[in-house]
Amino acid sequence: MSAHKSQYIERYNTAERLNHWVTAITFILLILSGFSLFHPALFWLTNLFGGGPWTRILHPFIGVVMFGSFASLALRFWHHNILSKNDIQWLKQIPDVIQNFEDRLPEVDRYNAGQKLLFWTMIATIPTLFITGIIIWQPWFTPWFPRNVDRFAVLLHALCAFIMSTGIIVHVYAAIWVKGTMRAMVRGTVERAWVKKHHPGWYKRLEQGRDH
């Protein structure tokens, strides 16, 4: 790299950020509309969408948009999310992670093991939600499927929604917890010191002039 070091390093380009936020916005709409039918205590959330029938009508369409948006995001990021030996060690040291003893952890590249696991959790749940969602999509697709397939689909849909939502709670909290992270997805850049501290492996590769 040149002698002049800028304070900021680009982590996500504009297309990646827009793609992430389309996914995030549709995710929030899906959580609000989906969870309104998940438990009676949350049925009032249907009011945000114009009532029960409108919630039922809109939810699957938003789901299709999210699935498409997530598929694009997955194609962009999957190759950064292959688990390595370091990641296994990182996961064994979860107590250190939680207590902010980051210096004790093995070297992290562009993503840490927690981020990678979140990625694969989404890879497992979102396509399952898409397929089961098609099966239970009234009035069009459900009549094509045997009743027990339909019952299994609705059960799996709820289960995957729970797993995905819990994953996203962790994802959002991690962004609040690790300061300086939010601007990666908002502005596209992170501070040089942030990269050195949280992603030293990636920093080394950047210093060597290799692509990120």
Q: Catalytic residue positions?
A: 171
Structure tokens, 32:
């609000």
Pick between residue 106 and residue 180 the one whose CB is nearest to another protein: 180
Applying CB under 8 A, among 152, 183, 185, 200 the residue interacting with another protein is 152
Chain centroid offset of residue 17 CA: 13
Q: Do residues 16 and 80 touch, judged by C-beta distance below 8 A?
A: no
Instruction: Return the half-sphere exposure (C-beta side, CA atoms, 13 A cut-off) of residue 10.
Output: 8
Three-state DSSP class for residue 198? helix
Q: Does 154 bind another protein (CB under 8 A)?
A: yes
- CB atoms under 10 Å from CB of 89, counted, come to 13
Applying CB under 8 A, among 55, 121, 125, 132 the residue interacting with another protein is 55
Residue 8 backbone class (left: φ over 0; alpha: ψ -120 to 50; beta: rest): beta
Stretch of residues binding another protein (CB under 8 A), selected from 11-19, 31-39, 85-93, 110-118: 31-39
Chain centroid offset of residue 123 CA: 9
- We find the least distance from the C-beta atom of residue 89 to another protein, in angstroms, to be 19
Cα 43 to Cα 109: distance, rounded to the nearest angstrom: 43
The count of residues interacting with another protein (CB under 8 A) is 48
Of 170-199, binders to another protein (CB under 8 A) are 170, 173, 176-180, 191, 193-194, 196-198
Give the residues lining the site for another protein (CB under 8 A).
37-43, 46, 51-53, 55-57, 98-100, 102, 136, 138-139, 142, 147-148, 150-152, 154-155, 158-159, 162, 165-166, 169-170, 173, 176-180, 191, 193-194, 196-198
